[in-house]
Structure 1
Amino acid sequence: MDDPFRLLGLNTNASAAEVRQARRDLAKEHHPDAGGDADMMRVINDAAGAALRILADPPGPATALPDVPPNVPPNVPPNSAREPDDAGMTRDAPSFTVEALPVETFEALLVVTSWIGEVIDDEPPYRLDVLIHAHDGIEYPCWCRLELVPDAGASTVSIGVGSYDDQPTPSITVLRDLWITHLNRYDWA
């Protein structure tokens, strides 16, 4: 990707909020649920993620800290889940945006969790750790962390996924689509 800011229609001095807003605006046109193209939506998500990483770690003499995968919560029984290592952990940030405040989004995610898995741990309304059961394109159970960030009256959700019980880790795209599909089935009224 040559210039993620240009792809988002922004200049290189854009803020993180402007990057998230540009991604949200483009998603309204290009998201498959709005009649858009899934490949274009992936390009937009990748560009937004790249732009946010650039803003978080601007070029210069400072050394970036390595990405550290989140720990498996302490209340998970030993040997039932393992802390994902760098090879087994996949992160997608940002994954998707929900046009609701974090408290409402968190409640919806809890309901969806009851449909597709079980809550392992949570810090309402900003973090939810879930064990996803084999379901809708997910062949094996997996461990999933959802992190919510308030974003101009909406919520940006980032997903981290790791293997469970030494099973293969599912595609982050399949997992993201599973959450989006079920959130769109949720009764927001």
Structure 2
Amino acid sequence: MKFMTDRGITQFIEFCDKTRQSCTNFRDFFEQAICQISSERELLLQAFLFFNSDKFFPSCIDVVLFEQSPDGLGNTHFGKCDFIYTTEKDTLFLIETKFINTRIGGKTARNTRNSQRNKVFEQVISLKQKLSQFWEIPEELLDCGVFTTDPRLLPRGLELNVATKSISIEQLENWHLAKKHELKTKVNN
């Protein structure tokens, strides 16, 4: 895929095309994870988003980076992007996921949730800045989103210009059971 709007985006996409797994490999990875997941809730949330990104972030077209640093080289001081997608507007869309347990109560749980809410926004904004600097991509060509299990993040996302989407834990668990059944049925046929 060639992006003619910005040299930095073009170079980033070309670099990712040389080093990344294909979407088919991502699909295989997430299908295996769905069938094997026992307690890794964050990975389940990422799998859900991978299979349903068009419903939550409709401008996203293709995953170019998953769970890697924005330099694409694995330098941990840059942090890791959960997903970077190309978009139909010839821009890039960074998405951070966070499983936030909204089912438990108490002061410690509330403090943990508040910390996670703050962190997910800080992460995606910081990664946007690092991607912009490293690849010399104007920040206006980089969009950000967060995807969580906490619907209370929407107002904060609006303030920060970060697309904020969520799914309830119950919906995620129901999807997991249905998708797991679908995949096992497909294998057995």
Q: Same fold (TM over 0.5)?
A: no
Normalised to the residue count of structure 1, the TM-score between the two structures is 0.30
Normalised to the residue count of structure 2, the TM-score between the two structures is 0.30
More strand by share: 1
More helix by share: 2
